[in-house]
Structure 1
């Protein structure tokens, strides 16, 4: 039994490919969550992870903000522009402010960049493969009509060409969720507390 357990550990460590995460944007910026009403837009993500990201965002931002946090999908009586693009102009932000009455607007976007390797990849692949996903959080100050925070995380797991062993990798879905949790951890760690 001990030999089988030891063999499983050796196989796991030799077959696992680690995921690398790259952070960019306002990684160490400090946010003040002590005032204002915060509104989160609908999470823009592939259908397979949209609900998970929405639930994590709601849980984490509610922990930071309490009843001053709302999600556009659960609140009534607000007006938002029909098309909210990736980069919001001052006019867009003014429309959001006038239609909602909120002070801050949160946008969360997730993208699958490549999804080429299954969780349990086969050996002897003829070309390199990777799973890569990106998640971004952008926060706008609706009173100043400007972006006040942006952070992006790209996660990547790579299996080289002609890899002869079993490849244990993270799925793109898991990479994106872990990337989002990393952003939320940075936001929580760097919040202004006094």
Structure 2
């Protein structure tokens, strides 16, 4: 009986140790843009964040909190403004005419657009400092047919009808043996966004 209990406890310790080794793997897209965002003026509008329902509220709260550090009361969440004449989901990389339509429909100066999507099976073998498919690799690792989850954040200057910031981050789950885990996708989506926000914090001014 005691042996069985000890064996069970040992199994739990091993299981916990294995799961604790799991970590998110993140890749930031290589972009030619080296400048951040000028937050010093204008009215800012956060568009509807296009992510899965189970992460939407948490991510939205985090985005509002992070951008409010720069903007204070100059940031408005479009979900709370029913009078705005804009589509529920604004596409990424919109044309100049679409950005001008956003200006007409909202009266704001800047628009923040965030999307998430699941990239299908993608095989990758790479090392830190190199990049594959325009993405850097932050850690040395090997993967085999992982599902990758991508978060992209864009900011539009509605007065100039220009995209002034765009960054994508790809995330996946794994441990140091290269095996994927059952950790919720929610953590990966938040992790991808946090990497983008670090890039904004590093390059921007208010």
Q: TM-score, structure 1 length as denominator? A: 0.75
Size of the aligned set, in residue pairs, is 175
What residue in structure 2 maps to residue 153 of structure 1? 169
For the aligned residues, what is the CA RMSD? 3.3
Q: Partner residue of 2:17?
A: 12
Aligned with 1:73: secondary structure? helix
Distance 1:26 1:64, change over 3 A: farther
- Residue 53, structure 1, aligned to residue 59, structure 2: yes
Q: Verify the 8 A CA contact 1:141 1:147 in the aligned structure 2.
A: yes
Alignment of 1:59-78 (within 5 A): 59-78=65-84
Do the aligned residues in 2 keep the contact of 1:40 with 1:70 (CA within 8 Å)?
A: yes
Question: Is it true that 1:99 corresponds to 2:115 in the alignment?
Answer: no
Partners of 2:88 and 2:185 lie apart in 1 by 30
The answer to whether the Cα contact below 8 Å between 2:111 and 2:155 also exists between their aligned partners in 1 is yes
* Counterpart for residue 120 of structure 1: none
Deviation of 1:81 (Å): 4.2
Structure-2 change in CA distance of 1:99 and 1:62 (3 Å) = same
Structure 2 unaligned residues grouped into runs of 5+: 1-8, 122-143
Deviations 1:129-159 (A, max 9, x none): 6342110100111111011100111012247
Offset, 1:33: 0.5
Contact 2:174–2:181 under 8 Å retained in 1: no
1:107–1:137 CA contact under 8 A, matched in 2: yes
Give yes or no for contact 2:116–2:150 (8 Å, CA) kept in 1: yes
**Separation in structure 1 between the aligned mates of residue 168 and residue 204 of structure 2, nearest angstrom:** 17
1:175 pairs with one of 166, 188, 191: 188
* Equivalent position SS for 1:148: strand
